[in-house]
Structure 1
Amino acid sequence: MTHASSSPTRDPAKLVLSDGTVARGVALGQRGLTGGELCFNTSMTGYQEIMTDPSYYGQLMMMTQPHIGNYGASAEDMEADTPMVAGFIVRDYPRRHANTQADETLEAFMRRHGLVGIAGVDTRALVRHVRDKGVMNAVISSEALEEETLLQKARDWPSMAGRKLASEVSTDGPYTFCEGPGPRIAVYDFGVKQNILRSFRRRGCTVRVVPGDTDLSEVRAWDPDGLFFSNGPGDPRPMSDAIETVGEAIDTGLPIFGICLGHQLMSLAEGIGVYKMHVGHRGANHPVKNLDTGQVEVTTQNHGFAVDPESIAPETARVTHVNLNDDTIEGLEFKTFAGMSLQYHPEASPGPHDSHYHFNRFMELVAEERDVTLPAAATEPAVATA
C-alpha cells in the first residue's frame, strides 16, 4: 500500500502489521522504530490535539484525512506537554504549511519531541483493512527495514488489552489548576485533557488535580464539592485500585462526573461490564442521541473499550446517550448516587458546542447536592477558548 508523498525527505520507512500486511512510505518526524496498537481517527482537523491526547498513549495513530500538517503546529493546540501517541501515520505530508499562528511545521514538531512517523501510505486502504480485521499491533521503522524482523516485532508488541497505562500519563503530584468563586472540583488524573480542566475553569471552579492513585482520604481533606474521574489510556478492567477508589467515592455522597476512562471505571465500580471493541471510536463526527431530549450531538470520541448494555441493571443506572452509528452506550445517569458519566468528550468542539452543556449539568448537580451557590459562569453557555 503506497502513495506518492510530498514529504520534505525521501528516507524510506515501513509500516508492518502483525498480520503480515506491509505498507511502504517515507519517514516523517524522528527516524527510528516504534510500535503499538494501530488505530485510526476520522477527524479532518485537530491532528495536534489528537497526537497530544493522553488517551492515545502507546498507540500508533493513523489519520484518514489525506492532508495532514497543512496548518503546522502550535503551542495553543496541545492537550498535554508532549505527544502521547507512539507513532504517527499519514497519507500526504505537505511541504509547506499555511497558518500565521503556527510555531513550526509538523515535521519539526515531531522531530523536537522524538516522535517517529511515516507518510506516503494509502491510509484509507489500511483503514478498510483494520475495520475488517479489527485493531492489531504494528511497528513503524525508518531504520532497519527487513520485513520479517519487523513482523516479529509487531507480533511481540504487548497487547492493549489488559494493560494499565494511566499511571504512565498521570501527574506526578497534586496541583491547583485554577481558583475561582465556584465549586471546588477534585480531578483524578488518569490522563486528563487540558480542555477538560479549562472547561471547569470557564465555569468559575477551583480545580485541584491529583494523581490517579491518590488515596481518597487525601482528596477529601481538601474538602471538594465534586469529584471528577478523567479520560485516559489502556484497559480499565485490570485497574482494581482505581475501581476501588471510585467505589469509595460513591460512598461519600459527593457528586461524581466521569468522562471516557472515568465513565468506564464508574461503570465497573457499580458492577457494569466493559468490553474491548472491534475497532473503537476515534473521530470528530460521531452522532450521539440524547435520549431525554431527542437532540443529536456531533461528538468527538476516542475509546477502544465500551460499557456492556446487557449488564446495566435498571436499579443501578439509566442510559442517557447512545451512539447512532452502532447503538453503543455513550452516557449514564446513576441511580444510587449523584453521578453522571459520558463515553465521549464533551470538552471538544466538533459540533462545535453541542456537548458543552454537560459541564453545566454537573455544576447544577453539585449545587443541588452540596447546597452551594453557582457563579453565573457555571450555568451560562460557554464557548471554548484557550
Structure 2
Amino acid sequence: MSTTKRAGVAAFEDTLRDFWATRPVRPRFGGKVGGVSAAIGLRYGIDPILVRVAFVLAAIYGGAGVVLYLLGWLLFPKEGDPVPGGPKPKPEPTSSTLAVILVLLLIPSVFWLTSSPSIIGLAVGLGAFYLVHRTYGDRNVAPPAAAPTTTPVPDATPAGENTWVYPGAESTSKTEQQTPPAWDPLGAAPFAWDLPEPGEPEPPEPKRPPRRWITWVTLVLAAFAGGLTGSLGAPLYVSLAIALGVLGVGMLLGSFLRGGRGLIVAAVPLAAVAMLASALPASTFGGSVGDQQIRPAALSGLAPDYQLSAGTVTLDLRDMQIADGESASSATSVGVGDIVVRLPRDVDATVRCKAELGDVQCLNQTSSGGTADQTTTDLGPDGPGGGQLTLDLRVGVGSVEVTRD
C-alpha cells in the first residue's frame, strides 16, 4: 500500500473516531419523534427543519431515510437530566428497552432496501453525513477541560498588625496605600482596590442578513431542469424528480450558507406530486390541458383515441347512430380530471372504467378509492341489436361517469 493510500485510510479512520467521540446528542426538548434531526442540527449548526426534510425525501425515494433515522435514534445518546446548580449532565445511552424496539424495527427496514434507488439513497445519505462531519465537525464541540489552577495565598498579616485604612486617612503601615478603582470611588471596598478596571463589554456580533437569493436561484434552476427533462421526452414523474433533486441540493447548500428555508414550501408539495405521478401510468399524462366537448353526429366522427393531461373530457354520443352489424371502439385517458360519457339509447355497449385514484360510475356499477376498475356490458332497453360500441376510459386522478339516457 502506498503512502498516499495509507494517509487516506488513516484520515478516514480518524474522522470516524472523532465522529463517534463527538456524535450528536438527542436533546430532551425540541425533537419531533426521536430528536435525531434536532441533534444533527445542534451539533453541526444546521437548521433542523432542513434535516427533517432530507429524511422525509430519503424515506419517500426507496425508504433509506427510515433506516438512517432509526440508526441515528439507536446510536445517538440522549441528553441527561439536568441538576440544578450542578455541572452539565453527561449524555445517557439509549435505554435497553428502546434499543430492542429499534433493532426490531431496523430488521424489516433493512430487508426493505432491495431496489437500486434505496441502496443508492442509503449510500448517499451515509456519504453526505461523513462529508458534513469532515467539514463541520469542529462546530459546537465542548473544549477540553482545562487543568485546575491554584490561586497563590497572600502572605499572612503579621500578628497584632492592623492594616485597615479608612478612606482619606494616611496609611501608618509599611504597605503603600493604593488608589480605589473608578467603579468604587468612595473606597467602600478597600480589599478590592487592587482589582483592575472592568473592561468594556464586547459589542454583539452583527447578524448576517438571510441569503434570499439562494431560494430564487434554486427555484429557477429546478424549473429549468424539470422543463428541459420534460422537453426531451422524459415522463412527468422523472421531470418532477429532477426538479426535486435540484431543490434538495439547494436546501443542502442553504443549510450551510444560512438561507434557502423558503425551498421547503416548494419541496413538500412537489414531492407529493412526484410520488403520485410515479404511481400512475405514464400514458395517462399525454395530451393537452383543458376541457374537451366531443359530440359526433356519425360513426366517422368518433376518434379512436382521446388524451388529456388535465381537465374534463365530455363524450356525448347520443346523436351517433350505429346500424346493426356495425361496431366502433374508442379510448379516452385523462391524467388529472374527469371523463363523462353519454351513450346512445339503443346501442349495445361494453365499457371499461378505471381510475387510479378516484370514483367510477360505470352505468350500473360504482366503485371508489385506489384503483377503481369496473367493466360492464349493457344491451340497452331494446335488448341485443343496434350496433356494438366498445369504450376504454381511464383517468389517473379524478372520476369516470358513464350514463345512458
TM-score by length of 2: 0.25
Normalized per residue, the structure richer in helix is: 2
Name which one, 1 or 2, has greater alpha-carbon Rg.
Answer: 2
Normalized per residue, the structure richer in strand is: 1
TM-score by length of 1: 0.25
